[in-house]
Amino acid sequence: MTIGVELTRSVDGPDVLAALAEHGFEGRLADDGLGVLVEADDAASVARQVDWWAEEHGLPFVAVQVDSTTYALVPPAG
């Protein structure tokens, strides 16, 4: 299935894709540059990798589930 990850900043797309590829996920940038589309069997595993990527880069973002196949990488609510 295709998992979408919406990004807050378009500059992060290539890095997110590279990090996902390191863990065996294939994907591409969304046409607008503000997201990535990843082929995976488990959406939660994609979200975990995206969370890890944000943490490793010291970014104040978390993956929030939008629907069953879409996450948004956004600042945490609070």
pLDDT of residue 57: 95
Average confidence (pLDDT) per 10 residues, the chain, 78 residues: 94 94 94 94 93 95 94 86
β-pairing verdict for 70-74 and 2-7: parallel
- Rounded CA-CA distance 35/32 in Å is 7
pLDDT of residue 77: 78
User: Which residue, 76, 20, 57, 59, is CA-closest to 5?
Assistant: 20
